[in-house]
Structure 1
Amino acid sequence: MKKRGLIIAAVLGIIAIYFFTTYNSFVKKDEKVQQMWNEVQNTYQRRLDLTPNLVGVVKGISGFEQSTLVAIAEARQKAQQGSGGEMTAENYGRQAVLQDSLAAASNRVIAVIEKYPVLRGTEAYRGLQTQLEGNERRIKVARNDFNAAVAGYNSAVRGFPGKLVAGITGFKPREGFQAVAGADKNVAIKF
């Protein structure tokens, strides 16, 4: 009888150890997802900070089309208002749409600038364009890192027997970034 009690206690101890280590693993993976989301937010903020510089350089050097500058200012304002918030699939999608519209507006400005050789040749513009291009790469990398963190978290939460611990402790699968419908088509830039 004593031997049976020891076996039951050992089994319960192993289950408890598994439960706590699995729980702690979920917490670490959840924190990694949050960290990667914060990095996405950081790169979005960098884009928001660079946009007024682009507009300022363009405005200062050329008699630039006012409607293009207004469009980029409006897109930036909407993107800025939509940043932050809870980590939900709806929030990811809303921010992605707002940030993508800002990127598209910035790209239209860059495309239109090709008509202004004096502007294109200025050191300020070239440096800013390089920063904007680099930031777009940073955003892509941050989104990829975020999706990788979400995939690792989801694998742990959805796999067996971790799914049992996740169900008991309230960890649920998360959604990462997905391509917006129509993202596979070329963007038309019209003058």
Structure 2
Amino acid sequence: MRSFSTLAIVVGILAVLLIAGCSSYNGFVNAEEDVEKVWSDVETQYQRRSDLIPNLVNTVKGAAEFERGTLEAVTEARAKASSITIDVDDLTPEKLEQFQAAQAQVSAGLGRLLATAEAYPQLQSNAQFQALQDELAGTENRISTARMRFNEEATEYNKKVRQFPGVVFASVFGFDQKPQFQAEAGAQNAPTVEF
């Protein structure tokens, strides 16, 4: 009789662990799928921006005396950023940093291109150029929103992976924390405005 009650206790404990393990595993899978979905949204918005760049460059090329170096810098930055692909299942802080750096180069190149374009009145009055500028501004807002949503989902996922008892099951099942987008270097400093 005693061995039967001991066996029942052991079986009960194993059943509770099995149910908790299955529940934790399913929770990790759901959270990881949410992270993958919002990562896809981030990539989609960066691809949208990348797709707009050739049209912008071709429109700007119409201004004959426009600086060739600026156009080449934007085109090269776009090519470099497009060559970096990250699998969200293998997303590490280093890979995300590399991805962010490449995208920052595209942003900087576009900023120089648009700033330089201000010196060309015929370009500023071009309806196609204006439409592309508006599209880029909207896309930059979408990128910001997608990055914010990714960070939110990654935070929720990381909480599940780090909290007890999830941390135990996460290590058993191989679920690791996901990195998040960080502000660019110097973003915490207010810009200097001079008149």
Q: TM-score, normalised by structure 2?
A: 0.88
The aligned counterpart of 2:149 is: 145
Greater CA drift, 10-19 or 46-55: 10-19
Please, what is the CA RMSD of the aligned residues? Answer: 1.9
Match of 2:31 in 1: 29
Q: Paired residue for 1:159?
A: 163
Contact 2:150–2:180 at 8 Å: present in 1 too? yes
Distance 1:13 1:96 in 2: 45
In the alignment, is the contact (CA less than 8 A) between 1:41 and 1:83 conserved in 2?
A: no
Provide the C-alpha distance between the structure 2 equivalents of 1:25 and 1:116, rounded to a whole number of angstroms. Answer: 56
Structure 1: 5+ residue runs without aligned partners? Answer: none
Percent of aligned pairs sharing the same letter: 38
5+ residue gaps in structure 2?
A: none
State the number of aligned residues: 188
Cα drift, residue 66 of structure 1: 1.1
Tell me how far 1:113 sits from its aligned partner. Answer: 1.4
Distance 1:127 1:54 in 2: 10
Equivalent in 112, 116, 120 of residue 112 of structure 1: 116
Q: How far, CA to CA, are the matches of 2:120 and 2:136 in structure 1?
A: 18
Q: Pick one of 22, 42, 50 that aligns with 1:20.
A: 22
**Cα deviations across residues 123-176 of structure 1 (Å, max 9, x unaligned)?**
101110011011111111111111111101110000011111111111111211
For residue 62 of structure 2, give the secondary structure of its aligned residue in structure 1.
Answer: helix
Q: Is the Cα–Cα contact under 8 Å of residues 43 and 142 in structure 1 kept in the other structure?
A: yes
1:55-66 aligned at under 5 Å gives the runs: 55-66=57-68
Q: CA deviation at 1:12?
A: 2.5
In the TM superposition, residue 83 of structure 1 has moved relative to its aligned partner by 3.2
Deviates more, 1:80-89 or 1:111-120: 80-89
Residue 91 of structure 1 pairs with residue 84 of structure 2: no
CA contact (8 A) 1:62 1:119 kept: no
1:50 is aligned to: 52
Structure 1 residues 98, 62: closer, same or farther in 2, change over 3 A? same
